[in-house]
Amino acid sequence: MTHFNAENKLSNSKVVMTSLIAGAVAGALAKTTIAPLDRTKINFQVAKKRYSTKAAFKFVIKSYQQEGFFALWRGNSATMARIMPYAAVQFTSHEQWKRILHVDTGVAKKYEKQRRFLAGSLAGITSQSLTYPLDLARARMAVTQKQTYNSISEVFAKTWRTEGPLALYRGYTPTILGVIPYAGVSFFTYGTLQNWILAEYGSTNALTNLFCGAVAGMLGQTSSYPLDIVRRRMQTSNVTGGHYRTIIGTLRSVLREEGFHGIFKGLSMNWVKGPIAVGISFATYDHIRDSLRSLLKS
């Protein structure tokens, strides 16, 4: 983690700029890679049908046969519109929160682990709050046919007109409750593993960063998954015919109708796509950020 030395030789505006660029590219690359898996997962999350690997595979084949190859990336434009600013803000705010909380700076050692977790959680809250309507648009596009919504702007317009402006933040509370452990665990795990590798072997590289990110992604997504189910049900209830208005009500409904497995539906797919996406995201971010900062210093 030599980037802290690089930061000290750059102005804060350049640190922020390089973080924003690296975060946007990292988020776009990671999400595009796993977009078909993401769409499949969302469709099972918001439906009452039972999830299995076979059923997920059938959904992918059916989507391809009925709507064509690029249907597997349906909603990815909304994902890109959201994930690029989301990832940019998340990584940038994480570095700023780390600076504010004196994480990995050598200034304060007391409660280091707690402060590392808090920095990740605050970064997740910051980015999620600023980009939430785009996440709702992405979810609605993923679970509907093309005739329902042709673009992100159409999702916003229809939602605003038929459900009111507050509907753009439907599912926000479970999202924030979920992002606190997710972002906290993800950034905490990634930073802790990187520090361990540095202490044991003296340096990190793209492969070790990919590994650290993969582990961070798996642990982070598992810790918050039931709230992810609640979030998706609430976000898409008006377009799927569900009646999910509150966190407790949604959890009760899922448990009553689908059993305990219902709140973990699609988690096994997350164990595939999560490590891939988070691993790519963290490794790409570190590489681009460090390259840009080295270029600016030269």
- Mean per-residue pLDDT for 281-298? 93
Torsion sign over Cα 165, 166, 171, 172 = positive
Residue 2 scores a pLDDT above 50: no
Residue 224 scores a pLDDT above 70: yes
> Quick one: which of 33, 126, 45 has its CA closest to 88?
126
pLDDT in tens, 68-100: 877 788 777 777 888 999 999 999 999 999 999
Residue 68 makes CB contacts below 8 A (sequence gap 6+) with none
Predicted model pTM: 0.80
* pLDDT value of position 281: 97
Is 289 in contact with 20 (CB distance < 8 Å)? Answer: no
pLDDT in tens, 124-144: 999 999 999 988 888 888 778
- Mean per-residue pLDDT for 46-53? 74
pLDDT in tens, 150-194: 888 899 999 999 999 999 998 899 899 999 999 999 999 999 999
By three-state DSSP, how is residue 148 classified?
Answer: coil
Residue 247 scores a pLDDT above 50: yes
Poorest-pLDDT segment among 151-165, 170-184, 256-270, 283-297: 256-270
Residue 90: other Cβ atoms inside 10 A:
30
Q: What whole-number distance in Å separates Cα of residue 269 and Cα of residue 283?
A: 21
From the DSSP assignment, how many helices (H) and strands (E) are in the chain? 11, 0
For the chain, percent of residues with pLDDT exceeding 70? 97
Average pLDDT score over the chain: 88
* pLDDT value of position 1: 45
Predicted confidence band of residue 104 (pLDDT cuts 50, 70, 90): confident
